Amino acid sequence: MHALRLGLRMLGASVRSQMQYPASFVIQAIAHFAITGLEFIGLAGLLARFGGVRGWTLPEVALLYGMISVAFALADMIARGFDAFGSLVRLGDFDRLLLRPMSPALQVAASTLHLRSLGQLAQGAAVLAYATTHAGIEWSAARIALVVAAIVGGTCLFVGLFMAQATIAFWTVESLEVVNCVTHGGVETARLPLSIYPGGFRFVFTFIVPLAAVSFIPAQALLGRTTSALAWAAPAAGLAVACAGAMLFALGTRHYRSTGS
Amino acid sequence: MSPYVAALSARFRVLLRYRAAALAGIVTQVFFGFVRIAFVDALYASTGAPQPLSHDQARAYIWLTQAFLLLGMLGVDPEIASLVRSGNVASDLLRPVDLHSWWMARVVAGRAAPTSLRCLPILVLAIALGQLHLPTLEAAPLVIASLALAVVLGAALYTLVTASLFWTISGEGMGRLVPAIAWFALGIVVPLPLLPDWLQPLLRALPFAGMLDTPVRIWLGHLSGADALAAIARQVAWITTLVVAGRVLVARGVRRLVVQGG
């Protein structure tokens, strides 16, 4: 509990520092929202030109797009601290974190609350709102809970991926850019129905990095395209990835050899 | 040898050593290539109606944009940014060279070197997969010309945006805004011809099309003859405009620059 309160105070400090230039921040958030909005309009235009993709209409694709964008934006806000982790290790600053009576993972995560992602969050929410009203879903308490679960699961998944990406810094001196394939590439992949991808992709993104479990599979359940009960429990996979990421980070911390400072 | 050519060649050779980063970039770009091709395949499978790009052309387009991806690099040059922020740009100003041309030389090398490292393996892969063909003999000189102009055009825009550092110091605002705006106007996520028809005039008017879309389209034969020459002329026009604007901005910026000492 004490650690949590400390974490919140660190986040507060980060927020205050970002709000030092309020005009610049607001402009950037609005611009980010507009630009990601344009991206979606481009996608909409494309789908209009081709009449949907593999049987998925625009509102249905919007459901996928919205859920994964919101999840990613939330994860980006929370876990941006892990971006700078590579330099933390390289400069030997991680030792300072280890000396403090607080979990190092929590310290890294709490170092930044990336407010700029609010622009993307708003855009994802807008797309999701469009999808909920136009995709012809019969809403019930269970379905709403599934959407929330999918978003929470997605956030956990991306946070886990960010942590895993940062953990690589323990062993190579820089974190591998290739992992961006999985995080940013993953978002782009998950925004579209998984059925359009070749078998290898589908396998990787269902079982190895279970993006499908937090976007495609719940979306299928929501749209009534599948009645399997497993689809409703799928978002739990995101939590599993978060746990795996945290465990990986703890493993790296345990075997950490400082580079000195 | 002129100092600018020397700077360009030196930077070029230094950047050619970054093989590990190039390898990581190639893997990432190939991955995104497969993802986007899957999307395009699914789109074309959904309808038989004729489109501005044929299915094969769309696939080739995506491979070409992935291969030459770094030609679309935008934002603020991080090395110059740290020079301005630390005040070390003063040592650049003490040199008997024109600052804008000096920066242009570095930036041109900064785009050409990593691109040339990455483009060949991706092009070879695409051709091996049968999803890309070499340009025709008559198109080849135009392709080469357009590619060269694309490098310079991108460099001119990059330098112009970097010059805004003299006002904002941190490079956060413009450095993020410009790439974000340009992102879909470059044709990387969605091939430009496939974007809605009402957007096409706007896309043609913007400089971003000349950075990646124009040479790609000439390669594919989508733009040929008079159209290709018109597109190349647009590239030249934008280069001129952006270089002039960049020089003006740098001159103004240098005049108001306050170096904090150190």
The token pair that represents A147 in the structure block? 């959407």
Query: CA-CA distance, B202 to B179, in Å (whole number)?
Result: 17
DSSP H helical segments within chain A, as ranges? 2-18, 22-50, 58-79, 85-90, 94-99, 104-110, 117-134, 141-167, 180-190, 199-203, 211-214, 216-222, 230-233, 236-254
- DSSP label at residue B136: P
Name the residue type at position A27. I
The token pair that represents A242 in the structure block? 């978060």
Q: What percent of chain B has pLDDT over 70?
A: 97
**Residue B59 pLDDT:** 92
Give the residue-averaged pLDDT of A194-199: 86
**Residue A157 pLDDT:** 92
Query: CA-CA distance, B192 to B10, in Å (whole number)?
Result: 35
| Greatest distance between any 2 Cα atoms in chain A | 59
**Residue A176 pLDDT:** 65
pLDDT digits (tens, 9 = 90+) for B89-136: 888 888 899 999 999 999 999 999 999 999 999 999 999 998 888 888
Q: Cβ(A52)–Cβ(A62) under 8 Å? A: no
What SS3 class is residue A139?
A: coil
Is B138's Cβ below 8 Å from some Cβ in A?
Answer: no
Rg of chain A (C-alpha set): 19
Q: Å from B39 to nearest chain A CA?
A: 6
- ipTM over cut 0.90: no
Size of interface A-B (CB pairs under 8 A): 87
Q: Is the pLDDT of residue B9 over 60?
A: yes
Q: Cβ(A94)–Cβ(A104) under 8 Å? A: yes
Nearest CA in chain A to B197: A45
**Residue B121 pLDDT:** 92
Interface probe, candidates B26, B46, B195, chain A, greatest A C-beta count within 10 A: B46
On chain A, the residues whose CB falls within 8 A of the CB of B46 are 50-55
Please tell me which residue, A232 or A259, carries the higher pLDDT value: A232
pLDDT digits (tens, 9 = 90+) for A61-70: 999 999 999 9
HSE-CB at B245 with a 13 A cutoff on CA atoms is 16
For residue B115, give the nearest of B193, B215, B35 by alpha carbon: B215
**Confidence band, pLDDT 50/70/90 cuts, at residue A174:** low
Q: What percent of chain A has pLDDT over 70?
A: 97
**Residue B247 pLDDT:** 94
- Name every residue whose Cβ is closer than 8 Å to that of residue B162 and which is 6 or more positions away in sequence: B76, B77, B80, B81, B103, B107, B171
Cβ atoms within 10 Å of B217's Cβ, excluding its own: 26
- Name every residue whose Cβ is closer than 8 Å to that of residue B244 and which is 6 or more positions away in sequence: none
pTM recorded for the entire structure: 0.85
CA trace torsion B197, A68, A182, B191 (10° rounding): 0
Least confident of A120-129, A250-259, B28-37: A250-259
Is B169's Cβ below 8 Å from some Cβ in A?
Answer: no
Please tell me which of the candidates B45, B176, B184 has its beta carbon nearest to residue A54.
Answer: B45
Is A32's Cβ below 8 Å from some Cβ in B?
Answer: yes
Put simply, the answer to whether B173 touches A28 (Cβ < 8 Å) is yes
- What CA–CA distances, in Å, run from B231 to B223, B234, B236, B246? 8, 5, 9, 22
- DSSP label at residue A202: H
Give the residue-averaged pLDDT of A164-186: 75
Query: CA-CA distance, A52 to A64, in Å (whole number)?
Result: 14
Burial zone of A87 (CB within 10 Å; 0-12 exposed, 13-18 middle, 19+ buried):
middle
Query: CA-CA distance, A260 to B17, in Å (whole number)?
Result: 28
**Residue B172 pLDDT:** 67
On chain B, the residues whose CB falls within 8 A of the CB of A47 are 43
**Residue A100 pLDDT:** 87
Name the residue type at position B215. P
pLDDT digits (tens, 9 = 90+) for B170-193: 666 677 777 777 877 888 878 888
Contacts 24+ apart (CB under 8 A), A132-136: A132/A63, A134/A58, A134/A59, A134/A62, A135/A57, A135/A59, A135/A60, A135/A62, A135/A63, A135/A222, A135/A223, A136/A59, A136/A223
- Name every residue whose Cβ is closer than 8 Å to that of residue A18 and which is 6 or more positions away in sequence: A25, A113, A115, A116
| Greatest distance between any 2 Cα atoms in chain B | 66
**Residue B74 pLDDT:** 87
- Name every residue whose Cβ is closer than 8 Å to that of residue B53 and which is 6 or more positions away in sequence: B61, B191, B193, B194, B222
Q: Cβ(B124)–Cβ(B65) under 8 Å? A: no
Q: Is the pLDDT of residue B244 over 80?
A: yes
Range 28-57 of B in CB contact (< 8 A) with A: 28, 31-32, 34-35, 38-39, 41-47, 49, 51
Backbone angles phi, psi at A15, to 5 degrees: -60, -45
Least confident of A160-164, A257-261, B142-146: A257-261
Q: Is the pLDDT of residue A175 over 60?
A: no
DSSP A1-59: -HHHHHHHHHHHHHHHHHTTSHHHHHHHHHHHHHHHHHHHHHHHHHHHHHTSBTTB-HH
Query: CA-CA distance, A152 to A144, in Å (whole number)?
Result: 12
Is B128's Cβ below 8 Å from some Cβ in A?
Answer: no
